[in-house]
Amino acid sequence: MRVTCQQAYGGYAMQFSPHHSHDIDIDAALDFIDTLDLERGDLVDHLKQPSDALHWLRDHGLVHPGPLDPALLRLTRRGAAAENGLARVREVRAALREIVDATVEQRPPARPALDTVNRAMRAHQRLVLVAGPDGVSLDHRHVGDPLGDALARIAERVSREGSGDRSERLRVCANPECRWAFFDSSRTGRRRWCDMATCGNRAKASRHRARLRAAGAEDGSGGEPGAREGWTDGLEASAGQSLDA
């Protein structure tokens, strides 16, 4: 049995190589959410233009290589179609962010986000069995437009992880100026920071400075700045510590 691919975006079917896949893992799906992130507390959108969204989807294997489908080609041109496409991408991204936040916070997600994700997943591919010269082939047929199909795959991956037995491994960085979404694949499952060398060490340094200030307030020394403050500055730059901290 062979596994192949068919497109049916515009009412036609086109056969593609059986050696490609549109699957996305949870790390890449969360990277999609993190294309809108906080950098030192300021929101930064890495999908500034419609073409940025197309490049991201293509780089992650969610659209076919080779010549672009006409629906995707519109994302590379100025106009309402491109802006509407980018708005769809951002809407699904925001909804998935709410799903992850709700999972981490152990609360029900906002209903509009739930509705958006459910609507996005309806555009997912469907498996079809077709006759071949040597038997049968298992094909997947894309439903709707290719942008919707790509978003459906991301939505499904996040939804499966959020509702599955690994949901407690979904994380949001404990640094309030970061809030990066990530999957905790550490052995102990106690990771709190997106990266120990950056957010983790900043938090440790901040806690240390707070302890120094508290100690200084008690003994009237003002925290004895100098050698100990220099040590905390070095702590921020250190790396290689356990991600379980």
Q: Are 138 and 70 part of one and the same domain?
A: yes
Give the integer Cα–Cα distance in Å for 99 and 122.
17
Q: Name 217's Cβ contacts closer than 8 Å, sequence gap at least 6.
A: 223
Q: Are 76 and 51 part of one and the same domain?
A: yes
40: containing domain: 2-163
CATH at residue 65: 1.10.3300
**Angle (CA) 179 184 190, round 5°:** 90
Q: What CA dihedral angle connects 69, 75, 79 and 80, to 10 degrees? A: 90
**Contacts by residues 213-218 (CB-CB < 8 Å, ≥ 24 positions apart):** none
SS3 state of residue 35:
coil
Q: Are 143 and 231 part of one and the same domain?
A: no
Per-residue model confidence (pLDDT) at position 33: 97
Per-residue model confidence (pLDDT) at position 202: 58
- In DSSP terms, which residues pair with 45 in a beta bridge? 36
Give the integer Cα–Cα distance in Å for 76 and 84.
12
Residue 169 lies in a domain: no
Residue 168 lies in a domain: no
| Length of the chain counted residue by residue | 245
Give the integer Cα–Cα distance in Å for 139 and 39.
43
Domain stop point among 163, 187, 212: 163
Per-residue model confidence (pLDDT) at position 231: 32
Q: pLDDT tens digits for the chain (245 residues)? A: 444 454 444 432 333 444 445 679 999 999 999 999 988 778 999 999 999 999 999 999 998 777 777 778 888 888 999 999 999 999 999 999 999 999 999 999 999 999 999 999 988 667 788 887 888 877 767 666 889 999 999 999 999 999 999 999 999 999 888 899 999 999 999 898 888 777 866 545 555 455 656 656 666 655 544 433 443 344 344 444 444 44
Q: Are 99 and 205 part of one and the same domain?
A: no
Give the integer Cα–Cα distance in Å for 22 and 20.
7
Q: Name 20's Cβ contacts closer than 8 Å, sequence gap at least 6.
A: 5, 61, 64, 65
Q: Please, how many CA atoms are within 13 Å of residue 20, restricted to the half-sphere of its CB?
A: 15
Residue 42 lies in a domain: yes
Whether the CB-CB separation of 26 and 161 falls below 8 Å is answered with yes
Q: Are 180 and 120 part of one and the same domain?
A: no
Q: Please report which residue ranges of 20-79 form alpha helices under DSSP H.
A: 26-33, 50-59, 70-73
